[in-house]
Amino acid sequence: MSKVLVSDPIDQAGIDILSQVATVDVKTSLSPEELVQIIPEYDALMIRSGSRITKEIIEAGTQLKIIGRAGVGVDNVDVPAATRQGVVVVNSPEGNTIAAAEHAIAMMLASSRYIPDANSSVKSGKWDRKSFIGVEVYKKTLGVVGLGKIGSHVATVAKAMGMKLLAYDPFISTERADQLGCRLVEMDLLLREADYITLHIPKTPETANLINPEALAKMKPTARLINCSRGGTIDEAALAEALKNGQIAGAALDVYETEPLGESPLRALGKEVILTPHLGASTAEAQVNVAIDVAEQIRDVLLGLPARSAVNIPGLGPDVLEELRPYMQLAETLGNLVGQLAGGRVESLNVRLQGELATNKSQPLVVAALKGLLSQALRERVNYVNASIEAKERGIRVIETRDASVRDYAGSLHLEAKGSLGEHSVTGALLGDSEIHLVDLDGFPVNVPPTQHMLFTLHRDMPGIIGKLGSLLGSFNVNIASMQVGRKIVRGDAVMVLSIDDPLPDGILAEIIKVPGIRDAYTVTL
């Protein structure tokens, strides 16, 4: 039975799900050294923000298949190291969406009305109303930086409160922004026009210190800044100086460059700044949601199913996965097949999406095809996570093309591979209830469902050749389950595709090639 280590506190609902398929050990507050020592025992690791999963820990986890982060950010996981080891890293991108969005709205209102300081004042015995005259958000302009799930919800709520909306997000279309009631603008304009600016972005090289002295200088003196996304996106020293000098009116931060927040000039400021200890996801509902979400993904991976929110599988979000799942199986099967036909040392792979499939994302299908291509050599070591890396390290040149004009099937996938046995191509399509069919082999039309053991021949289309091959196989006690011939012209070259019940005995391929008219023969085991 699989074993799962839970190294941070998570809701019991998540543990209950994991217990359906694995033995679950909850061991919190482990040091990195302790994790390195025990991680070889486990197939999966579930964490929150408390555990930092380093390259050393991942490399020590020789049995690890998946690391699940019960939350959005995976800053505390060495994702490149996990990818290289073939370990899936998943998160819960939607589990705390509402909690984080509501915290950003709460921080904006608290900053506008000085609620934390007013509360402290009354509790200390004062009744000082004049010191806490705030401002209204109604009809003010909110600049939303990042229109992902959280930013979009903030925009929706702010619009309902009567705010005007600007948005900056280089990855969002104008149409999507319009749906949310946002005017999509450049960052410079947003900084200059917004009365409130709320950040909903990951920390990347492009967003590190996005709010710096130059950005702060462009903001209105009445502007307020809210950050409930990621620490490190604001230059905190520059922000403290801007608040101290009255360059902007206020700020409310839930995340910081270094957490827990240590010595910081922000701590010395008064009512113009609100600081909370990373509470964005800290609601009872969010903790249950993220625990269930990630536990379900760990369960699925341990059962051999794909994860819906893997952060290190290119282009494979939950929506894409649901839509492309049957075609990914098609791509993997074809990759396995053409890899065996082309030979062990494959130099190149051409993946062509045809017909209606040409309008879909190609990257997940390319990854699936590479997984199939490399599966004979690497077995369980290759998966959707590391297939691209393994192919690159083996010098396999990958080409992606599209051809929407091919209309023989609603959508088909064509793979060409060049290897030590020559160049070969296969085309597959989904027929009926998503049943995989091989519809073309090396340019010859066929229509057969792939089976575990298959024999392919290249031969002259001539009388008697099928009978001779059948008799030869019968003499070696090989039972044929099905057979089909594909040809372009009568009595020209042709291919034969045979499904057989068992692997061919040793030496039989050499005998098959001796049959007059048969020019080549290959076996494939799927």
Q: Are residues 112 and 207 in the same domain?
A: yes
Which CATH number covers residue 525? 3.30.70.260
Active site residue 230: yes
Section 293-309 average pLDDT: 89
pLDDT by residue (tens digit) across 116-138? 999 999 999 999 999 999 999 99
> Which residues, listed in sequence order, are joined to residue 351 by a DSSP beta bridge?
400, 415
**Can you give the pLDDT at residue 175?**
83
Q: Are residues 142 and 271 in the same domain?
A: yes
pLDDT by residue (tens digit) across 237-272? 999 999 999 999 999 999 999 989 999 999 999 999
CA–CA distance, 333 with 513 (Å, rounded to integer): 26
Q: Are residues 251 and 107 in the same domain?
A: yes
Q: Are residues 165 and 239 in the same domain?
A: yes
pLDDT by residue (tens digit) across 185-224? 999 999 999 999 999 988 877 899 999 999 999 999 999 9
Q: Are residues 481 and 416 in the same domain?
A: no
In order of 145, 150, 194, 197, 436, the CA distances from 105 in angstroms are 14, 11, 15, 11, 50
Q: Are residues 413 and 320 in the same domain?
A: yes
Q: Which listed residue (278, 402, 460, 487) is catalytic?
A: 278
Q: Are residues 319 and 431 in the same domain?
A: yes
Q: Which of 416, 450, 484 is the last residue of a domain?
A: 450
Q: Are residues 79 and 26 in the same domain?
A: yes
Active site residue 345: no
Element (DSSP H or E) covering residue 519 = strand 518-525
Which CATH number covers residue 55? 3.40.50.720
Q: Are residues 112 and 61 in the same domain?
A: no
Specify the DSSP class assigned to residue 169: -
Q: Which listed residue (48, 230, 299, 352) is catalytic?
A: 230
Q: Are residues 51 and 194 in the same domain?
A: no
Q: Are residues 75 and 153 in the same domain?
A: no
Express as a percent the part of the chain with pLDDT over 90. 72
Confidence tier at 321 by pLDDT (50, 70, 90): low
**Can you give the pLDDT at residue 319?**
63
Mean pLDDT across the chain:
91
Section 77-92 average pLDDT: 88
> What residue type is assigned to position 490 of the chain?
V
**Can you give the pLDDT at residue 410?**
80
Report whether 219 contacts 197 (CB < 8 A). Answer: yes
3-state secondary structure of 94: coil
In a domain, 307, yes or no: no
Look up the domain containing 24 and give its range: 2-95+286-302
Which CATH number covers residue 409? 3.30.1330.90
**Can you give the pLDDT at residue 237?**
97
Q: What burial class does residue 206 get, using C-beta atoms within 10 Å of its C-beta: 0-12 exposed, 13-18 middle, 19+ buried?
A: exposed
